[in-house]
């Protein structure tokens, strides 16, 4: 497989790299410290077209390829993992399922606003008792004439309270188990929709993670995404793509921590020389760089398979598993190589280490990725 990026992909990387350095990096520490959702960055991302990258132009998107989008999440996360996940959850978990499973009417109605960034998107699958066991949904949707009435609640929803458009999963037929789950497009302005607890998190603290509560929430019948009972497969296929986005986020965090560490070890003097001149330090840097390159190859491979219409469920799981563990490995080493300074908020590596941890947990834990991989290779 050849990962010589095309001229267009290189140009997109340069564009988003400059955007990240000029607009995102200066806010990253403050956004983390104050648990502040970076509204102004999201606005600028919308204006520059980065919230509708993979959506075709006929629906108001930029119509770029998957790898260009993945590179963008990587570059944003290299300086601010919060910004990376806002874009990834919006694009992979909300825009994509509407594009993939929506009717022409649903695409016309929702994608223009999402792709232009006039509205932000989110994905609501997880419940208090349905995490890894995503099939055990307790939210219920009952058809009543021309409307579904949805009752239930969701937890840990990325972009919760900030998004206007949600992909919501609920049981339409409990007797059918996971084949009784359906997917719906829900607008935050719907009566009966409310935001519950906002999580106070270890990392990605600028990202909004909330509970959603649905109380006799009536939505038009036309907002069913796919057919009744298709919900679980829609969720799993959406997560296959979402996991490539999180792999890119993890990759970006790791690369960002390596960037910071190289700068630091060249500058930091001990025993009258830069610590970069010690082989013990050089070997750590070599290991970090090698892990990152391997994570990049897996992540780009998964994105390319998706782009080319080849199976990518296993490749996405491998990319997310490896990139997430790489992010933890590299950021932990980065703090260590910064010594006492790395443990303080004067340097960004402590934030990167906290941010890295979530990539081993959300959109399927590392254990779930191993289940998916094992299920695919042991037949
Ligand atoms: N694509 C299409 N179909 C799939 C599929 C996929 N990737 N994965 C499973 N399916 C289908 C299977 O083929 C099977 O269909 P049939 O019965 O017709 O054969 C059906 O779904 C059930 O499959 P399993 O028996 O494998 O399902 P399971 O209940 O054992 O679950 C699991 C498997 C891998 C553990 C799955 O439940 C899972 O991925 N859990 C983790 C969920 C997750 O990632 N949650 C994160 C939510 S989003 C988030 O983190 C918050 C955020 O906002 C970012």
- Digit-coded pLDDT (tens) for 301-322: 999 999 999 999 999 999 999 9
The class that CATH gives domain 7-119 is mainly alpha
CA of 135 to the centre of ligand 1 (A): 8
Ligand 1 contact via 41 beta carbon (within 6 Å) = no
DSSP E strand boundaries for the chain? 121-124, 140-144, 147-158, 165-171, 181-187, 193-198, 209-220, 224-225, 269-270, 273-274
Query: Which residue's CA is the nearest one to ligand 1's atom 48?
Result: 363
- Three-state secondary-structure class, residue 230: coil
Query: Which residue's CA is the nearest one to ligand 1's atom 9?
Result: 236
Q: Note the pLDDT tens digit of each residue in 125-138.
A: 999 999 999 999 99
CA of 276 to the centre of ligand 1 (A): 45
CA of 232 to the centre of ligand 1 (A): 7
CA of 80 to the centre of ligand 1 (A): 29
- At 41, is the pLDDT very low, low, confident or very high (cuts 50, 70, 90)? very high
What atom of ligand 1 comes closest to residue 313's alpha carbon? 7
**CA 125 to CA 121: how far, in whole Å?**
13
Between CA 199 and CA 136, with CA 160 as vertex, the angle to 5 degrees is 85
363 is an active site residue = yes
Query: Residue 48 contacts by C-beta under 8 Å, 6 or more apart in sequence?
Result: 15, 19
**CA 235 to CA 260: how far, in whole Å?**
37
Q: Note the pLDDT tens digit of each residue in 153-205.
A: 999 999 999 999 999 999 999 999 999 999 999 999 999 999 999 999 999 99
CA atoms within 13 A on the CB side of 163: 38
- Region(s) of the chain under CATH 1.20.140.10: 232-378
- At 20, is the pLDDT very low, low, confident or very high (cuts 50, 70, 90)? very high
Ligand 1 contact via 368 beta carbon (within 6 Å) = yes
In this predicted structure, the answer to whether residue 229 has a pLDDT above a threshold of 70 is: yes
CA of 134 to the centre of ligand 1 (A): 7
- The residue behind tokens 């298709």 is 230
**Residue 352 is encoded by which pair of tokens?**
């990167």
Q: Note the pLDDT tens digit of each residue in 276-304.
A: 999 999 999 999 999 999 999 999 999 99
Ligand 1 contact via 365 beta carbon (within 6 Å) = no
Residue 237 and residue 88 in contact, taking contact as beta carbons nearer than 8 Å = no
Ligand 1 contact via 362 beta carbon (within 6 Å) = yes
pLDDT of 7? 96
pLDDT of 317? 98
- Region(s) of the chain under CATH 2.40.110.10: 122-231
What atom of ligand 1 comes closest to residue 158's alpha carbon? 53
Query: Which residue's CA is the nearest one to ligand 1's atom 44?
Result: 364
What atom of ligand 1 comes closest to residue 159's alpha carbon? 53
**What kind of fold does domain 122-231 have according to CATH?**
Butyryl-CoA Dehydrogenase, subunit A; domain 2 (2.40.110)
**Residue 181 is encoded by which pair of tokens?**
């789950």
Ligand 1 contact via 166 beta carbon (within 6 Å) = no
Single out the catalytic residue among 7, 75, 363, 367. Answer: 363
**CA 190 to CA 165: how far, in whole Å?**
10
What atom of ligand 1 comes closest to residue 364's alpha carbon? 44
Ligand 1 contact via 157 beta carbon (within 6 Å) = yes
Please tell me what DSSP assigns to residue 57. G
User: How confident is the prediction for the chain on average, in pLDDT?
Assistant: 98
- At 379, is the pLDDT very low, low, confident or very high (cuts 50, 70, 90)? confident
Cα-Cα-Cα-Cα dihedral sign, residues 98, 99, 101, 105: positive
CA of 178 to the centre of ligand 1 (A): 9
Ligand 1 contact via 313 beta carbon (within 6 Å) = yes
Residue 172 and residue 166 in contact, taking contact as beta carbons nearer than 8 Å = no
In this prediction, the answer to ipTM > 0.95 reads yes
pLDDT of 2? 63
CA of 345 to the centre of ligand 1 (A): 38
pLDDT of 1? 60
Cα 49 from chain centre: 18
- Region(s) of the chain under CATH 1.10.540.10: 7-119
In this predicted structure, the answer to whether residue 67 has a pLDDT above a threshold of 70 is: yes
Is the CATH number 1.20.140.10 carried by domain 232-378?
yes
Ligand 1 contact via 371 beta carbon (within 6 Å) = yes
């Amino acid at each position: 497989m050849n990962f010589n990026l095309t001229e267009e992909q290189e140009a997109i990387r340069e564009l988003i790299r400059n955007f990240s350095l000029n607009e995102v990096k200066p806010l990253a520490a403050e956004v983390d410290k104050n648990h502040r959702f970076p509204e102004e960055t999201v606005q600028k991302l919308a204006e520059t077209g980065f919230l509708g990258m993979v959506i075709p132009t006929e629906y108001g998107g930029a119509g770029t390829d998957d790898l260009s989008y993945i590179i963008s999440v990587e570059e944003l996360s290299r300086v601010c993992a919060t910004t990376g996940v806002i874009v990834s959850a919006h694009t992979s978990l909300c825009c994509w399922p509407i594009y993939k499973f929506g009717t022409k009417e649903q695409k016309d109605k929702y994608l223009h606003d999402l792709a232009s960034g006039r509205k932000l998107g989110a994905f609501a699958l997880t419940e208090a008792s349905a995490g890894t066991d995503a099939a055990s949904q307790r939210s219920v949707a009952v058809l009543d004439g021309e409307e579904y009435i949805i009752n239930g609640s969701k937890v840990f929803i990325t972009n919760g309270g900030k998004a206007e458009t949600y992909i919501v999963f609920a049981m339409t037929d409990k007797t059918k188990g996971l084949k009784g789950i359906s997917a719906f497009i829900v607008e935050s302005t719907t009566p009966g929709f409310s935001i519950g607890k906002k999580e106070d998190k270890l990392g990605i603290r600028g990202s909004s993670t909330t509970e959603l509560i649905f109380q006799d929430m009536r939505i038009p019948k036309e907002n069913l995404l796919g057919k009744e009972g298709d919900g679980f497969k829609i969720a799993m296929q959406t997560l296959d793509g979402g996991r490539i986005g999180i792999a890119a986020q993890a990759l970006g965090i790791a690369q960002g921590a390596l960037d910071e560490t190289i700068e630091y070890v060249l500058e930091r003097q001990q025993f009258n020389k830069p610590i970069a001149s010690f082989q013990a330090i050089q070997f750590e840097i070599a290991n970090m760089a090698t892990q990152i390159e391997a994570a990049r190859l897996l992540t780009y491979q998964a994105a390319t398979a998706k782009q080319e219409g080849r199976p990518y469920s296993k490749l996405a799981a491998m990319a997310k598993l490896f990139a997430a563990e790489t992010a933890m490995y590299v950021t932990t080493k980065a703090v260590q190589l910064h010594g006492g300074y790395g443990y303080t908020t004067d340097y960004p590596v402590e934030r990167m280490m906290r941010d890295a941890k979530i990539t081993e947990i959300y959109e399927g834990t590392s254990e779930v990725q191993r289940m998916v991989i094992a299920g695919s290779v042991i037949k």
